Amino acid sequence: MTVYIHYIRALCSFSHIERLLLAGLIFCGIILAARAGETVDKSGNPAFRPAALWLDNHNVPINAHGGGVLFMPGTMPDQGTYYWFGEHKVAGDLGNTAQVGIHVYSSSDLASWKDQGIALKVADRPDMDICRGSIIERPKVVYNSRTKKFVMWFHLELVGKGYASARCGVAVASSATGPYRYIGSFRPDVGAWPMNTSLATHHPVGPEDRPELDKIKTDGGPYPGYPTNIIYRRDFAVGQMARDMTLFVDDDETAYVIYASEENGTLHISQLTPDYLKTAGRYVRVLPGGFNEAPALFKSAGKYFLFSSHCTGWSPNAGRLSVADSIWGPWREVGNPWHGPQDKISVSYGTQSTFVLPVADHPGAFIYMADLWRPQNAIDGRYVWLPIRWQDGLPELAWRDQWGLSEFDYTATGKATGKVTQLEKLAQIQNKP
């Protein structure tokens, strides 16, 4: 109390000018505090605060986990719109299963997001694949310029079967925000052999494979003695296992699904049919026995880059980067793309990759999107978006508490390392009379 009396006495002894100065300081403090909740940086550019609570236009935390972003160019003066799709989580452990569906948000600046509702709803009918309580993860949406449809793919696990179903789910819509019509789910590439395996291996498993088949563990984690050359043969007739996944559309508009397969031990890259609704039976096995998941693939300056994680469930681990000259490989592992203290980069600052977002109108500029999972209270999982920087032709990641799109201005000064050709192509298509 005596302290407050002391302050009041001091205040009374201030001159008029001193009181004005003090009021000014308090006013600036209030403005700065308010700005902390804003989505622009000092120069007025959109700002990102990795792992901080990220609010939508209704001041509700954005609910789009394991997500991806689609950019649809507009016609001048409309600069185009980004659509962010992700898993809508609910509170508690229950949130690790699908209770609501896939949420979609829209934005023109990547920082402020408008809630556009649930793009794909879980079904109330228990006989449907995407019923409440199933697992629907890592949704991604691409636009097909031939069919003029938006096509959503996601990882689907049928209700009550844990992670054993390992299927791709597909839904389609005529507008970006949906509603999306569920088409079906399947294991990809039934009856197709991987393009990067020798003819001699192209026969389904038989009794002679029993010892190797008996070594297979199904908990999704790595183990010594993982048999690297048998699971795709085991699954030849029923289709390949597909868990953590992403989509990628190349410059020629050929689309691919990239997923953790073969009990999570091996990634597959599989070409989609021209309508993007199925796999085309052309696929390669990537890093067999490497136990990679959370794939996020992108292309820059003609090279393909793949971020992934190790397989430790919701717990974070060291990030991984692989690179290839062709999407079909060979893929070369480069190591952990993170820079920083060892204890942080050994767990990717608590995050797991989900997507790489090319920034419109900024050739060579990409945003790394990741999740910071909170499986005990799934709805409180956070988003970590970071600018990708380039070093000797390779992407690298470093933590920022805050950053803005001005980060990418360097790309305009001749240091650009890639072209966002897919976006340019889409722009041409959209702007056609």
Residues that bind ligand GAL (CB under 6 A): 66, 137-138, 244, 293-294, 313-314, 352
- Minimum Å gap between C-beta 244 and ligand GAL is 5
Task: Give the separation between CA 419 and CA 120, rounded to whole angstroms.
Answer: 32
Identity (one letter) of the amino acid at 185?
S
Which one, 46 or 66, has the nearer CB to ligand GAL? 66
Min dist CB 204 to ligand GAL, Å, is: 28
Nearer to ligand GAL, 223 or 314 (CB): 314
Specify whether the CB–CB gap between 420 and 358 falls below 8 A.
yes
Q: In whole angstroms, how far apart are CA 361 and each of 191, 412, 430? A: 42, 10, 15
Give the three-class secondary structure for 397: strand
Q: How far is the CB of 264 from ligand GAL (least distance, A)?
A: 8
Q: How far is the CB of 272 from ligand GAL (least distance, A)?
A: 21
Burial class (CB in 10 A: 0-12, 13-18, 19+), 396: middle
Nearer to ligand GAL, 66 or 288 (CB): 66
Least distance in angstroms from the C-beta of 281 to ligand GAL? 26
Q: What is the smallest separation between the CB atom of 377 and ligand GAL, expressed in angstroms? A: 15
Residue 89: strand, helix, or coil: coil
The residue among 246 and 417 lying less far from ligand GAL, judged by its C-beta, is 246
Other CB atoms within a 10 A radius of the CB of residue 334 amount to 15
Contact 344, 128 (CB under 8 A): no
Q: Which two tokens stand for residue 250?
A: 């190349």
Q: Which is nearer to ligand GAL, 41 or 244 (CB)?
A: 244
CA 223 vs CA 4, 102, 272, 290, 326: distances in Å:
65, 33, 31, 11, 30
Nearest residue (CB) to ligand GAL, 63 versus 352: 352
Q: Is the dihedral of CA 328, 333, 336, 338 positive or negative?
A: negative
What is the rounded CA–CA span in Å between residue 426 and residue 422?
6
Closest to ligand GAL by CB, 27 or 314:
314
Task: Output 316 or 404, the one with its CB closest to ligand GAL.
Answer: 316
Burial 397-421 (b: 16+ CB within 10 A, else e): bbbeeebbbebbebbeeeebbbbbe
Q: Is the peptide bond before 179 cis (omega within 30 degrees of 0)?
A: yes
Shortest Cβ 94–ligand GAL spacing (Å): 14
- Give the CB-nearest residue to ligand GAL: 313
- What minimum distance in Å lies between the beta carbon of 396 and ligand GAL? 22
